[in-house]
A and B are shown apart, each in its own frame.
Chain A
Amino acid sequence: MSETQSLRAWLLTDTPTSRRHAKFAAAYQGWLSFRSNTMAMIGLWILIFLVFVAIAAPLLAPHDPFEQTLANRLQGLNADGHILGTDSLGRDILSRLIYGSRITLFIVGLVALIAPITGLLVGTVAGYVGGWVDTILMRITDIFLAFPRLVLALAFVAALGAGIENAVLAISLTAWPPYARMARAETLTIRSSDYISAIQLQGAGPLRIITKHIWPLCISSLIVRVTLDMAGIILAAAGLGFLGLGAQPPSPEWGAMISEGRRFILDSWWVATMPGLAIFTVSLAFNLLGDGLRDVLDPKDAET
Chain B
Amino acid sequence: MTLLDVENLWVKFPSRHGVFDAVRGVSFTLGKERLGIVGESGSGKSLTGRSILRLIRPPGIMTADHILLEGDDLMTKTERDMRAVRGQRISMVMQDPKFSLNPVMTIGAQIMEAYMLHNAVNKKAAYAKAIEMLEAVSIRVPERVMRSYPHEMSGGMGQRIMIAMMLIPNPQILIADEPTSALDVSVQRQVLDIMDTLVKDRGMGLIFISHDLNLVADFCDRVLIMYAGRIVEVCDADKLREAKHPYTRGLLNSLPRLDEPRARLEVLQRDPAWSEAPSVSGRI
Q: Which A residues lie at the B interface, using CB under 8 A?
A: 32, 36, 304
Contacts and interface: CB of A to CB of B under 8 A. Distances in A.
B80 interface: no
5 contacts: A32-B16, A36-B16, A304-B57, A304-B58, A304-B59
Contacts of A36: 16
Contacts, number: 5
A32 B17 CA distance: 12
Contacts of B58: 304
Interface in B143-192: none
Main SS of chain B's interface residues?
loop
Interface in B34-85: 57-59
Interface of B: 16, 57-59
Nearest to A12: B17
A235 B162 CA distance: 51
Nearest to A29: B16
A36 B59 CA distance: 15
B18 to A, nearest CB: 12
B21 to A, nearest CB: 19
B61 to A, nearest CB: 14
B57 to A, nearest CB: 8
A167 B127 CA distance: 62
A272 B16 CA distance: 46
A32 B59 CA distance: 19
A32 B58 CA distance: 21
A304 B60 CA distance: 12
Contacts of B57: 304
A14 to B, nearest CB: 10
A280 to B, nearest CB: 33
A32 B15 CA distance: 13
B98 to A, nearest CB: 18
CB-based closest 3 A-B pairs: A32-B16, A304-B57, A36-B16
A246 B232 CA distance: 73
Nearest to A36: B16
A32 to B, nearest CB: 7
Contacts of B16: 32, 36
A62 B16 CA distance: 46
Nearest to B59: A304
A295 B136 CA distance: 47
B59 to A, nearest CB: 8
Contacts of A304: 57-59
A6 to B, nearest CB: 18
A133 B118 CA distance: 55
A30 to B, nearest CB: 12
A85 B24 CA distance: 66
A10 B190 CA distance: 54
A304 B59 CA distance: 9
A32 B16 CA distance: 10
A304 to B, nearest CB: 8
A36 B16 CA distance: 10
Contacts of A32: 16
B17 to A, nearest CB: 9
A304 B58 CA distance: 9
A240 B58 CA distance: 47
Nearest to A33: B16
A239 B59 CA distance: 44
A187 to B, nearest CB: 25
A303 to B, nearest CB: 13
B55 to A, nearest CB: 14
